[in-house]
A and B are shown apart, each in its own frame.
Chain A
């Protein structure tokens, strides 16, 4: 390879991060998020709760908006507000599902529709359309040190908590009846897991906004389903593809002057399409190839 090509490669893939503090911070934030949000996404998918993440990500908006109303563009106030709103709505939806015939997904859907409307209304009380876009789609390239520390904290807490509840969580997914017959930890694991989901959506909000936060959580999980057969493998693939999407998305955004958040999710979307088409575990391509069945 000649020197010129090497220099071009450096300019394309590394220089954006070497030259710009903003890009480095964005990369660190997306990597941290990849390590915690992607495993959560895998469990959401395995528990058939893929759309719950979507619903919850909207649900945090009014909390964020109230934080913004009270303290302006303060990361801590907005994240705190989002966290409180997320927890309240998770608990509220759970209580309504338990007390009435409405199922948990239905009552969550009701909450998130109300939350979204409420959130947008509150933001427009004080802010501009630009602020609203900032909330909905994030602003990866304006991440400050406070937000970066917060995201790193969320990622650390999530990984630790996930390790602690791993066994009951897996068992709760695969055979809840058995877990109930030997232990009471199923309920605790479920609540802890929902709390982690909210926590990571708030982390995701700081990077990608409420609408796109769920993308870095769920798309890598769906990608992983086409590459691995066991939970551990799926989580490895999900983390890897989230990190690749983060990096490639930032490079793409820098080189083509695209908005960074959507670029990250678009790269993840591209990986998803490739996985559906050619993933070794149940990809479409393998259905089309005529392969003889095995002897035993």
Chain B
């Protein structure tokens, strides 16, 4: 569909990094409203760094990010390693209810409609009946399902998922991917980082291939070519070679 697409996010010559060392270099481009984009690239390619900047947790070293019609805090964001204290005595229901924060703030009560939204979120991820379970008793896959239920309750127009499918089994990936596709049908803008190229080919119409610098960005079939993947991979191999050289020198 080439009809007048509306911009959700626009990157202007964006450079991101830590301590002045760039992790994402000179990124230009547009994420259209309702786009389902996979961000692919080797470890250290800058995927998480880009996401942190999109949700406003990291200030750009140079350039800028333009968000159209929403604030950074309106984005539903699932970080790669959520800093959840799993020993904290809180149950699944309360954890999912926190997705209401943007609407309820620190004092708002949870009414019948919110209760229905929380139950619907739990049902959608297959955790009905887990409401009173404390989060410390959940398995890794159940934990990820619970976090997706919270994303559902957040009901954001823009959703950013940082490696949401790492270290979980195929059934869970399939169930959660179903939710991602539902968000796409609902015209929500979704960005997801992943290493699973087959998954991207199967479900994601758009891909940003990142290796510190953008290697390619566009329709999945055009981006995920052998040549482009090779280019991105070569950067990794360059790193490996350097490591080897170092080791042989020491020997």
A contact residues vs B (CB 8 Å cutoff): 46, 164-168, 170-171, 173-183, 185, 228-231, 234
Contacts and interface: CB of A to CB of B under 8 A. Distances in A.
Interface stretch (B10-18, B25-33, B89-97): B89-97
Interface stretch (B101-109, B167-175, B209-217, B242-250): B101-109
B89 A234 contact: yes
B83 A185 contact: no
24 contacts: A46-B89, A165-B106, A167-B106, A168-B106, A170-B90, A171-B98, A171-B101, A174-B135, A175-B83, A177-B79, A177-B82, A178-B98, A179-B101, A180-B57, A181-B55, A181-B57, A181-B75, A181-B79, A182-B102, A183-B101, A183-B105, A185-B106, A229-B134, A231-B90
Interface residues of B, number: 25
Contacts of B73: 181-183
A174 B57 CA distance: 19
Contacts of B105: 183
Contacts of B135: 174
Contact of A176 (B83, B90, B102): B83
B227 interface: no
Contacts of B84: 174-175, 177
B101 A182 contact: yes
Interface in B103-155: 105-107, 134-135, 150, 154
B88 interface: yes
A49 to B, nearest CB: 12
Given A46-B89, A181-B57, A228-B89, 18 more contacts: A170-B90, A173-B85, A173-B88, A174-B84, A174-B135, A175-B85, A178-B82, A180-B57, A181-B73, A181-B79, A182-B73, A182-B101, A182-B102, A183-B102, A229-B89, A230-B91, A231-B89, A234-B89
B89 A230 contact: yes
B79 to A, nearest CB: 5
A230 B55 contact: no
Most chain-A CB neighbours within 10 Å: which of B84, B101, B107? B101
Contacts of A185: 106
A168 B105 CA distance: 9
B183 interface: no
A167 B107 contact: yes
A64 B106 CA distance: 35
Interface string B58-91: 0000000000000001010101001111001111
A212 to B, nearest CB: 27
Contacts of B95: 174-175
Interface string B38-69: 00000000000000000101000000000000
Contacts of A231: 89-90
